[in-house]
Structure formats: structure tokens, C-alpha cells
Amino acid sequence: MTTGTSAPRRPLVRLAARRPRSLRRTTHVDVGARTGWGAELSISGGARDLRTGTGIGDPEVLGEAVLEAAFDGDRQLAALRTDPAEPWAQELTGARAGGGFRRRLNEVVPAWASGSLLRQVLDDVPAAVLISGYGFMRLARRQGLAPESLTPPNVLDRMVDLCSGWRQGGAAMVSIASGSGVPLQDCPPAPELDADDDDRWAFHRCPPLAPDAMRRRRCLDAAVDEDGVMSVWAMFRDTVGEPDGGEAVLHEYALRARLEDGVFTDIEADPRVLPFGECPAAAGEVTAVVGTPLSEMADRVPELIAGPASCTHLNDLLRALGGLAGVADRLH
């Protein structure tokens, strides 16, 4: 059954303000415009850890990372360049962009790098590949191709009940089953987040996004008060490049969380932009992670929130919070 509700269209106009004695991790991963479902893919990305002291005017860059990658037509990683140039990262060559990529990443990343910037941006690569098909569908429809001709093979069998938006009886499933293809949502324009008139350090600089390319941005902001309680504000945004040089938002979530002794005690998700009316139902499920240690988030989230109760992309944001465990000591 469909929910009968409208999908949210409320992109953030700015990031939350940096706080004194906080750490901000920002990442982005770009996927070049696709020419077909089996086309080769070019990927680039970057990340930065920024520590803010007692005042916000002179923050300290704790680390940066960049990557360039290429996937062949079979979705296998054919080439990877990273900075820092960690030898373990090259062991990902040959991994497929999907669940197998993250399994391989978990196998090759050493314990000391589990919370690193490079590991975080690599973890977002398969998610960026997943959303890149949307840019291809927009391009193909502008060129006059019928929506039903753009539906990937066996998509109903692969996607049914994968998440809240692709639930049985939902708008997406009904549209495909009726022969109308995947619904192409009306994406709102993306407000600028890379720079803020009041804070040039709000987000690291990202290059212009090419038409029909896709980008995932992420921001994690954590601060610890004098009682040792950690408060977190986080968001992600998926955008597609427009022909006029702008960007349009496909997915966006924000969340707030509180941790005591490294364990989640409270969390709330805010759906900002989503494609289908069924999607926001997943927001209320995030309370399932209350009681989970920060260091276990990456592993526990898929166990705690799955199927039509989940949002694939919100789950990724929750998993990304686990990366803060590796840098939490720098907040003190």
C-alpha cells in the first residue's frame, strides 16, 4: 500500500554552525555521467577533518584525503589512486561495486585505519555508484527515450522491500509493474553548501559537478561538553548535475544524536529531500540504534534496521557515524 503522502522537498540552505571545541568531518564522492547501465564509471572524491578550538575563527585541519577510481563495465574496480597512498587500499582492485566492495574493504583495512578519512570516503564509493543510475535516466529522458525503456532488467525482483521507498505496493513498484518505468522525481535545486558567507571553513571545496554526474556530500559534526556527553549533528545530500551548471537534490537527510560514555542515548532523523512518499517512514526507525556503542555502528546498523523499515542512504549516514570513534579522542 502507498502512504498517500508527498515526498519531502526541503533541502538545507546551510550547514549547522560549527561549534567551539568540535570536530567536523566532511566528505564527497562524485561519479561521472553514465552513458548506459553497463558503461565504465569514473569516480573522484575528497574528505577533510577539521577541529575547532575555543573560537571558530582559526580551525585546525587534522587530515585530508582524495581518491580517483575507475570501474569497468562489469562494475569491478579497475584502477585506484589515493592520497594518502596507503598500500592496503590497492588490495581493493578487482572488487565489485556493491556489497562485495564493502566486505573487501573490511578485510583489507588495518585496525589503525578503521576510522580514517580514506576509509570513510572509500566506504561511500559503492553508494555513489548505486545512485549514479539516476543521472543516466535523466539524461536519457531528455534525449527522448521512453521511461519504460530505461528500467534495469529484473529490477522488481531485486528491489522489492529493499527499503521503505521500494516497498511492495509503493509508488515506485507500482509504476514499474504497470509498465511506466521508474518514476523520475522533481528534484529541488540544491542550495550551496561548500561555502558559507559567515564561515569559509563550513565544508571543504568541491569542484563543479558536470551535467548528469552524481555527487554524495556528507557532514559529521561532533562536540563533547564538560560532562563528557557527545552531541552529533550530521547530514548527507545526493545531487545530480544540471545542464545549466547547477545541482538538483535527489536524497537528503539530517540527524541529531547524543552519546554518553560512547553509547547512543538519543537520536532523531530529519528527512529533507526524498524521491517517494513512502521513503520518510524510515526516519522513525533510527531509534533502534539507541544503546549501540559508537564503535559498533558500522556493523550493527544493517542488523538493527533492514528491509522496508529502512532507508539505504539513511543507514549509510548512521554507519558513517561510526567513523567518529577513531577521532573522538581529538575532541578533548
User: Quick check: is 6 in a domain?
Assistant: no
- The model's pTM is 0.92
Q: DSSP for 265-282?
A: EEEEEEEEE-SSTTGGGG
Q: What is the residue-averaged pLDDT of the chain?
A: 90
User: Quick check: is 17 in a domain?
Assistant: no
Residue-level pLDDT at 155? 77
User: Quick check: is 16 in a domain?
Assistant: no
- Taking Cα atoms as reference points, which of 138, 123, 137, 136 lies closest to residue 29? 123
Query: String of b and e for 148-167 (b: at least 16 CB within 10 Å)?
Result: eebbeeeeeeebbbebbbbb
- 158: cell is 531485486
Residue-level pLDDT at 332? 63
Backbone angles phi, psi at 197, to 5 degrees: -55, -30
Backbone angles phi, psi at 17, to 5 degrees: -65, 140
Q: Provide CB contacts within 8 A for 69, sequence distance 6+.
A: 42, 43, 44, 77, 79, 80, 81, 125
User: Quick check: is 15 in a domain?
Assistant: no
pLDDT digits (tens, 9 = 90+) for 193-214: 876 677 889 999 999 999 999 9
- Please give the residue that has the higher pLDDT: either 266 or 170: 266
Backbone angles phi, psi at 223, to 5 degrees: -140, 150
User: Quick check: is 9 in a domain?
Assistant: no
User: Quick check: is 55 in a domain?
Assistant: yes
Query: String of b and e for 113-140 (b: at least 16 CB within 10 Å)?
Result: bbbbbbbbbbbbbbbbbbbbbbbbbbbb
The label of the residue with cell 552531541 reads: 231
Structural domain for 112, as ranges = 22-331
Backbone angles phi, psi at 226, to 5 degrees: -65, -15
User: Quick check: is 288 in a domain?
Assistant: yes
How many independent structural domains does the chain possess?
Answer: 1
d(CA 290, CA 125): 27
- CA dist list (Å): 177 to 61, 106, 168: 50, 37, 11
pLDDT digits (tens, 9 = 90+) for 78-137: 999 999 999 999 999 999 987 689 999 999 999 999 889 999 999 999 999 888 888 877
User: Quick check: is 177 in a domain?
Assistant: yes
The stretch 293-311 carries a mean pLDDT of 95
Residue-level pLDDT at 2? 41
Asked if residue 211 lies in contact with residue 34, where contact means CB atoms within 8 angstroms, the answer is no
pLDDT digits (tens, 9 = 90+) for 16-61: 999 999 999 999 999 998 776 677 899 999 999 999 998 888 899 9
